[in-house]
A and B are shown apart, each in its own frame.
Chain A
């Protein structure tokens, strides 16, 4: 990744939640970057901290109980963590758009979809009602919503799941932001709709030249849409690389186990592979390497010393003591 094309750079971001049961280190020293007009997939199981990372970038973490304790988020060189709230508000929606997982609950049920899209336009740009309405219709057309001139006055509950998600996308992109954060945008949708939405996002990325942070737990989606991948586990980045490199030769045992657990239609197996153990709770992360209780390659060193994210091969980073040997040890 060359430097001048890094649109969004996250450096040592940490977000903790202070609860009655203790401190949950949901995001712990996370670093990655996204290139212009490219997609970075942030992968991990539920509870690994992906969504909190996205919310932290947008500074939407509820405080209390959560707090961004450290780190930098550079949007085209400017550190978002240092901005006053009023300026951050113009960044949200204006320069970074966000799409959420559940479109039904993410849209306000008492306002029309047109109202909500127009709102996004009018808060960032000085558009009149008529202009905003026209742009909203145009945006709805861009996301392939049928009959936008009528649909614009519909309420969210009158639309299907796929249509609602398109509205969300229209809202997020209405001001042509530089970055799009998509937090599991297709997880709540039917499989057939999923591919349509993915295709739509792909097309929009190209058309608007946006950098996309795509959060998902679905490796198939990663293979299809991502240029770069970051694998997250227990609040930390386990591995990050370009997509082909990651798929060809994963350097972290967790990544390898993830791949292994995907059932393949061509294989004839009696049992599905799973990863032993359970995802740890953010309140009680294991000491040293957070993955060591479940790792097939665990050694004494893993139990004692926390591995840092390091460049094992060019452009391919992993946080594991045994990355160099992993090719020979694990399938």
Chain B
């Protein structure tokens, strides 16, 4: 009987298998999935509008659709005064991020407000649930922008070399010299009216340098390698060489970088909101709740504890996933 060797696996299959071997990373991935679900289904988790409403014999879905007859309804009062034959299915947190309860401002966590309320009486838990939308969308979009720019510039620089490479490398150097946070602040200072898109844009446009360097290095390395030369010899056009042959090899470290990038973007967005430069009120963001905490640090500990914990947990999970991925794609760790 000859010796048995494991069947040949594709690269990504191997990566996936290695990743699965790390329970922490897999757990973190699960947590992130849950977070994404929370963000996507926020209206069904925390809103003062019911998910399903049976009223006067008809069925409505106020969370999902906007009905003309309910446009000016104060849902809190409506729900209180339901008539016979009516029936509601409320979201688990029956308050929206904007639902104010002036009388109950800055109240401690209780059964009614699991995470307390802020200075306008808004439920902190509801705001956190909706805040996850901001954090995640800013995280993903900003990193998406950064990765896109990075891949394009890095590939062009690495593939074509020469003068193009020199110019792009100088550009990379210039951008790297500015401290990231500073650069974002500058961009924000220039913006006439802050919105979430500027935020995503600002974070994305300063974060592409790492990816660009990676990709450029890969292209420089692989350009001279045999399979690329062979492809050229066979007459394959430049673009095809780029996409089908070189790029897949460079993807692994880019993916790792992107994961850490999301963690960083979430932190940056929170920090910016905290400093007052993030999404404008009344939109809820974890960082903006924390900035409230500045004034009420001693009186309202829940304003510090919960959103901070949320930011921390998200960043932790993304870092764990990034570490898991990095170990999984590390060629040296394979037997």
Q: Do chains A and B touch in the complex (CB under 8 A)?
A: yes
Q: Which of A21, A278, A281, A286 touches B1 (beta carbons < 8 Å)?
A: A286
Nearest Cβ on chain A to B326's Cβ, whole angstroms: 19
What is the chain A residue whose CB lies nearest that of B2? A293
What is the chain B residue whose CB lies nearest that of A282? B3
Q: Which of A19, A21, A284 touches B3 (beta carbons < 8 Å)?
A: A284
| A21–B335 CA distance with the chains assembled, in angstroms | 9
Does A328 sit within 8 A of B, measured CB to CB?
no
Per-position binary interface string of chain B over residues 49-89, scored 1 when its CB falls under 8 Å from any chain A CB and 0 otherwise: 00000000000000000000000000000000000000000
Could you tell me if B335 and A19 are in contact, using CB atoms closer than 8 angstroms?
Answer: yes
**Chain B residues, CB < 8 A from A146:** none
Per-position binary interface string of chain B over residues 1-25, scored 1 when its CB falls under 8 Å from any chain A CB and 0 otherwise: 1111100000000000000000000
**Chain A residues, CB < 8 A from B4:** 284
**Chain A residues, CB < 8 A from B2:** 277-278, 280, 286, 293
Nearest Cβ on chain A to B31's Cβ, whole angstroms: 26
Prevailing SS type, chain B contact patch: loop
**Chain A residues, CB < 8 A from B1:** 286-287, 293
In chain A, residues 109-145, which have Cβ atoms closer than 8 Å to a Cβ of chain B? Answer: none
**Chain B residues, CB < 8 A from A280:** 2-3
Nearest Cβ on chain B to A2's Cβ, whole angstroms: 41
**Chain A residues, CB < 8 A from B335:** 19, 21
Give how many B residues have a beta carbon under 8 Å from the other chain's beta carbons. 6
**Chain B residues, CB < 8 A from A21:** 335
Max chain A CB contacts within 10 Å: which of B1, B3, B335?
A: B3
**Chain A residues, CB < 8 A from B5:** 281
Give how many A residues have a beta carbon under 8 Å from the other chain's beta carbons. 11
| A19–B335 CA distance with the chains assembled, in angstroms | 10
Prevailing SS type, chain A contact patch: loop
**Chain B residues, CB < 8 A from A19:** 335
| A286–B3 CA distance with the chains assembled, in angstroms | 7
What is the chain A residue whose CB lies nearest that of B21? A20
What is the chain B residue whose CB lies nearest that of A283? B3
Nearest Cβ on chain B to A286's Cβ, whole angstroms: 6
Per-position binary interface string of chain A over residues 44-82, scored 1 when its CB falls under 8 Å from any chain B CB and 0 otherwise: 000000000000000000000000000000000000000
Nearest Cβ on chain B to A321's Cβ, whole angstroms: 18
| A41–B2 CA distance with the chains assembled, in angstroms | 29
In chain A, residues 279-316, which have Cβ atoms closer than 8 Å to a Cβ of chain B? Answer: 280-281, 284-287, 293
| A300–B123 CA distance with the chains assembled, in angstroms | 80
What is the chain B residue whose CB lies nearest that of A276? B2
**Chain B residues, CB < 8 A from A277:** 2
Nearest Cβ on chain B to A219's Cβ, whole angstroms: 25
| A278–B3 CA distance with the chains assembled, in angstroms | 8
In chain A, residues 215-258, which have Cβ atoms closer than 8 Å to a Cβ of chain B? Answer: none
**Chain B residues, CB < 8 A from A285:** 3
| A87–B20 CA distance with the chains assembled, in angstroms | 44
What is the chain B residue whose CB lies nearest that of A284? B3
Nearest Cβ on chain A to B334's Cβ, whole angstroms: 11
| A221–B335 CA distance with the chains assembled, in angstroms | 31
| A286–B5 CA distance with the chains assembled, in angstroms | 13
What is the chain B residue whose CB lies nearest that of A287? B1
What is the chain B residue whose CB lies nearest that of A303? B1
**Chain A residues, CB < 8 A from B3:** 278, 280-281, 284-286, 293
Nearest Cβ on chain A to B335's Cβ, whole angstroms: 6
**Chain B residues, CB < 8 A from A278:** 2-3
**Chain B residues, CB < 8 A from A281:** 3, 5
| A284–B2 CA distance with the chains assembled, in angstroms | 9
Per-position binary interface string of chain B over residues 113-140, scored 1 when its CB falls under 8 Å from any chain A CB and 0 otherwise: 0000000000000000000000000000
Nearest Cβ on chain A to B104's Cβ, whole angstroms: 56
| A277–B5 CA distance with the chains assembled, in angstroms | 13
Nearest Cβ on chain A to B330's Cβ, whole angstroms: 15
Nearest Cβ on chain B to A34's Cβ, whole angstroms: 32
What is the chain A residue whose CB lies nearest that of B335? A21
**Chain B residues, CB < 8 A from A284:** 3-4
| A285–B2 CA distance with the chains assembled, in angstroms | 9
| A285–B335 CA distance with the chains assembled, in angstroms | 17
B residues engaging A (CB < 8 A)? 1-5, 335
Lowest 9 CB-CB distances: which A-B pairs, in order?
A: A280-B3, A284-B3, A293-B2, A281-B3, A284-B4, A286-B1, A277-B2, A21-B335, A293-B1
Could you list 11 A-B pairs, sorted by A, with CB under 8 Å? A19-B335, A21-B335, A277-B2, A280-B2, A280-B3, A281-B3, A281-B5, A285-B3, A286-B2, A286-B3, A293-B1
* Known interface pairs A286-B1, A287-B1, A293-B2; 9 further A-B residue pairs with C-beta atoms within 8 A, sorted by A's residue number: A21-B335, A277-B2, A278-B3, A280-B2, A284-B4, A285-B3, A286-B2, A286-B3, A293-B3
